[in-house]
Amino acid sequence: MKDWKQIAAAQGLVLPQAQIESHVALMSQLEDTLNHLKTKLAVDTEPATVFQPAPWSDGDAR
Amino acid sequence: MNTIRDAGAALRSNKTTSVALTRQCLDRINRLQPSLNAFITVVSEAALAQAARLDAELAAGADRGPLHGIPIALKDVFETKGIRTTCGSRLFYDHVPRRDAAVAERLEAAGCVLLGKTGMHELAYGVTSTNPHFGAIRNPWNHGHVPGGSSGGSGAAVAASMAFMAMGTDTGGSIRIPAAFCGTVGLKPTYGRVSRYGVLPLDFSLDHMGPLTRSVHDAAFVLQALAGEDPRDHTSSHQPAGRYSPPAGAKLNGMRIGIPENFYFDRVEPGIVSAVRQTASEAERLGAKLVSVQVPDIAGLNAIGRIILFAEATAAMEPFLHRRDEIGPDVLSLLDQGRYILAADYVQAQRLRRVFQIEYNKVFDSADVLLTPTTPNLAPRIGETTVLLDGLPEDARLASTRFVRGINILGLPALTLPCGIVNGLPASAQFIGKAFDEATLLRIGAAVEDATDCADLNPPGL
């Protein structure tokens, strides 16, 4: 698990404690989901950035 | 006369003029703006002058097509040359662009009359349109409820017949949510189908442009005018535009409509479920085949979408983040959340996005389109931060985006149309299609619309 409070501090976020706690709760939840989903990734899976053709576009090179 | 189709017929049979249609809209804006707050800027004189020019053109035999002489509005995120474009924000309070957005250019070329700029959620980053700088926009069906967002002014303006069409943008549902809450049609085209040039960005890879209208046929007219490559937007697709106008009174024989067995009907307001199932039955009566489908993990898809959204929005707004006191608290909190996203996690989310695109596209092996509710909830009250679904409280923002956000991540087209009234507020159905197959969505939507009275919803007293 990442230390979200340290990340907030490193980013220079000076916020009320309650707001930091709410951010930490959300980020921890997203981190859990991401960690679970990452197990699906094949080593050669490319990011779906907008700079590449999307999987459906069949050669619609941008 | 609320639709572009009816107004166009009246124009061509000399029963009305563009000036008369424009005056009709301006009168309604003058009457309803104090209660609805749908507009940030109205350009009455310019609109009437433009309408007079278009009337003269039509009289001389020069017809630009179905949008000729039609009064419309643009969300205040589309740049308009010489007309203030605020993005609903203090940061852009005095921003007067020197250029038109591609959407504004194309609508002007198609003969539209610009009435003004509609209000929105601050920076297009939220779903209520309760704006701390320009005031709350109100839902024409019940002034105590939000119109949805972020294109809330566009939803309210079209529902209240202040404009025949208003453009919206959709990063996580911001066309479809206000369309649902205000009882209008909303169309989010495929990513790359409509140019993003000249639109203040929220999320580079998630922002889509599309119309809110009173009918599916009208949405098709607008898409026809907007679709096509634009070299100024490097994400604009090379794929040629289709022919979008659906036939009137069409049957749906041979069409396969997928009804998801998982996710999309969980924890939904019962009246909305009934209305959407009624829409499915109507499509079946018109000849479509209903097929049950399983969709991928949409909750997971929504989660990676939020990671992408947080990171890209904060990057887009980074030049302004030091002006914290000029940003409303809800948007500022979201922009702060983007600063927690690590680069590796953003890249993993984009890699997972590709996995989900491939998985979701497989659903279309067994269905031409999917049919779902647009939102699980009706329009919340202004200031309400949680909604109750199946007896459980849920964050109103997360509930409202639950069925729409994922479609932005996939880049697929989606069409929403009103399908009933529940507790005095509109319910809405969402059709989701294959990439660049807006024509099928519009054909199915128009057939359902023609066979029912869903395009004739008018807020009480209007």
> Which of B297, B349, B355 shows the shortest C-beta gap to A34?
B349
| Pairwise CA distance, residues B407 & B306, whole Å | 12
> Does B59 contact chain A (CB < 8 Å)?
no
DSSP helix/strand/coil, B386: strand
- pLDDT tens digits for range B188-228: 999 999 999 999 999 999 999 999 999 999 999 999 999 99
Whether chain A has a CB inside 8 Å of the CB on B209: the answer is no
Q: Inter-chain contact B304–A54, Cβ cutoff 8 Å?
A: no
> With contacts defined as CB-CB under 8 Å, which chain B residues touch A54?
191, 357, 411, 435
Convert B442-457 to b/e letters by CB count within 10 Å (16 or more is b). bbbbbbbbbbbebbeb
**Distance, in angstroms, between B255 CA and closest chain A CA?**
21
Set B18, B75, B151, B428: catalytic member: B75
Per-residue pLDDT at A61 exceeds 90: no
Q: At what angle do helices B329-337 and B298-317 cross, to 10 degrees?
A: 100
Question: Number of C-alpha atoms within 13 angstroms, CB side, residue B418?
Answer: 30
Instruction: Identify whether B150 is a catalytic site residue.
Output: yes
CB B37 within 8 A of CB B136: yes
Domain range summary for chain B, segments of one domain joined by +: 4-300+343-456
Cβ-contact B7, B84 below 8 angstroms = no
Q: How far is B419 from chain A (nearest CA, A)?
A: 31
Taking the C-alpha atoms of residue B48 and residue B52, their distance in angstroms, rounded to an integer, is 6
Q: Is B274 known to be catalytic?
A: no
Architecture field, domain B4-300+343-456: Alpha-Beta Complex (3.90)
SS3 B185: strand
CA angle, residues B358, B361, B364, in degrees to nearest 5: 160
Nearest CA in chain B to A31: B345
Best mutation target among B193, B236, B354, B407 (most A Cβ atoms within 10 Å) is: B354
Amino acid A59: pLDDT: 44
Please give the model's pTM, rounded to 2 decimal places. 0.96
Q: Give how far the C-alpha of residue B430 lies from the chain's centroid of Cα atoms, to the nearest Å.
A: 12
What is the C-alpha separation between B227 and B190, in angstroms, rounded?
10
Of B234, B297, B303, the CB nearest to A30: B303
Å between A37 CA and nearest CA of chain B: 7
Q: Quote the CA–CA distance of B75 and B114 in Å, as a whole number.
A: 11
Kindly tell me if the per-residue pLDDT of A52 is higher than 70: no
B225 vs B186: CA distance, rounded Å: 16
Answer yes or no: are the C-beta atoms of B184 and B212 closer than 8 Å: yes
- Per-residue pLDDT reduced to its tens digit, A37-50: 999 899 999 888 65
What is the per-residue pLDDT for A58? 46
* pLDDT of B150: 97
Band (A54; pLDDT cuts 50, 70, 90): low
A13 CB neighbours in chain B (<8 A) are: 336, 339
At B418 the pLDDT is: 97
SS3 label, residue B80: strand
pLDDT at B277: 98
Contact A60/B237, CB-based, under 8 Å? yes
CA–CA separation, B430 and B453 (whole Å) = 17
Question: Is B333 a catalytic site residue?
Answer: no
Interface of B with A in 392-421 (CB under 8 A): 411
Taking residue B215's Cβ as centre, other Cβ atoms within 10 Å add up to: 25
Sole residue written with tokens 């294959």: B434
pLDDT value for B1:
79
Nearest-angstrom CA–CA distance, B150 and B330: 13
Give the A:B interface size as CB pairs under 8 Å: 97
Tell me if A57 and B345 make a contact (CB, 8 A cut-off): no
Low-confidence ranges of chain B (pLDDT < 50): none
Cis omega (within 30 of 0) for bond into B161: no
Chain B residues touching A49 at Cβ < 8 A: 205, 350
Give the integer Cα–Cα distance in Å for B67 and B159: 19
**pLDDT of amino acid B375:** 98
Chain B CB contacts of A27 under 8 Å are 337, 340
**Nearest by CB to A48, which of B342, B345, B354?**
B354
Q: State how beta strands B392-395 and B256-260 pair.
A: unpaired
* Contact B56/A at CB under 8 A: no
Residue A55: the pLDDT is 47
